Amino acid sequence: MDMETVRDRGLVLLGCGKMGSAMLAGWLKGGLPAASVWVTDPHPSEWLKAQGVHLNADLPELPAIVLIAVKPQMMGEALPAIAALGGGRTLFLSIAAGTTIATFEAALGAQTPIVRAMPNTPAAIARGITAIVGNAHATESHLSLARSLLSAVGQVVRLEGEHQMDAVTAVSGSGPAYVFHLIETLAAAGAAEGLPPALALQLAKATVAGAGALAEAAEEDPGQLRVNVTSPGGTTAAALDVLMNEDRGFPALLKEAVHAAAERGRELGK
Res 78: pLDDT = 81
Residue 141 lies in a domain: yes
User: Total domain count for the chain?
Assistant: 2
Asked if residue 269 has pLDDT above 90, the reply is: no
Of 108, 112, 150, 113, which is closest to residue 132 (Cα–Cα)?
150
Once rounded to an integer, what is the mean pLDDT over residues 59-73?
89
In a domain, 239, yes or no: yes
Query: What is the per-residue pLDDT across 200-219, written as a single tens digit (0 to 9) for each?
Result: 999 999 999 999 999 999 99
Output the pLDDT for position 135. Answer: 96
Residues 132, 233 within the same domain: no
Instruction: Tell me if 191 sits within 8 A of 199, measured CB to CB.
Output: no
* 50 domain-assigned: yes
Residues 15 and 103 in one domain: yes
pLDDT, residue 256, reads 96
Whole-number CA gyration radius for the chain: 21
How much is the pLDDT for 267?
84
Is 170 inside any structural domain? no
The answer, yes or no, to whether residue 145 has pLDDT greater than 90, is yes
What is the structure's pLDDT at 73?
74
1 pLDDT higher than 70: no
Among 116, 143, 165, the domain-final residue is 165
**Sign of torsion over alpha carbons 109, 83, 106, 140:** positive
Whether residues 180 and 148 fall in one domain:
no
User: Is the separation of the CB atoms in 87 and 112 below 8 Å?
Assistant: yes
Asked whether residue 79 falls in the same domain as residue 104, the answer is yes
Distance CA 24, CA 3 (A): 14
Q: Are residues 20 and 107 in the same domain?
A: yes
Same domain? 114 vs 210? no
Residues 37 and 149 in one domain: yes
Domain range enclosing 130: 3-165
Is residue 10 domain-shared with residue 143, that is, in the same domain?
Answer: yes
pLDDT at 72 over 80: no
- Summarised one tens digit per residue, pLDDT across range 222-245 is 999 999 999 999 999 999 999 999
The verdict on residue 72 lying in a domain is yes
* Strand-strand pairing, 65-68 and 91-94: parallel
Is it the case that residue 194 has pLDDT exceeding 90? yes
Tell me which of 137, 165, 193 is where a domain ends.
Answer: 165
Q: 61-65, 122-126, 180-184, 266-270: which has the minimum mean pLDDT?
A: 266-270
Q: Compute the distance between CA of residue 193 and CA of residue 147 in angstroms, rounded to an integer.
A: 46
Q: What CATH code is carried by the domain that includes residue 157?
A: 3.40.50.720
Residue 100 falls in which region: left (phi positive, over 0), alpha (psi -120 to 50) or beta: beta
Question: Within this chain, do residues 28 and 66 fall inside the same structural domain, yes or no?
Answer: yes
As a whole number, mean pLDDT of residues 57-69 equals: 92
In a domain? residue 58 = yes
Residue at which a domain ends, from 165, 194, 227: 165
Calpha distance 237→260 (Å, rounded): 29
| pLDDT of 13 above 80 | yes
As a whole number, mean pLDDT of residues 31-57 equals 93
Is the model's pLDDT at 80 over the cut of 90? no
Average model confidence (pLDDT) for the chain? 93
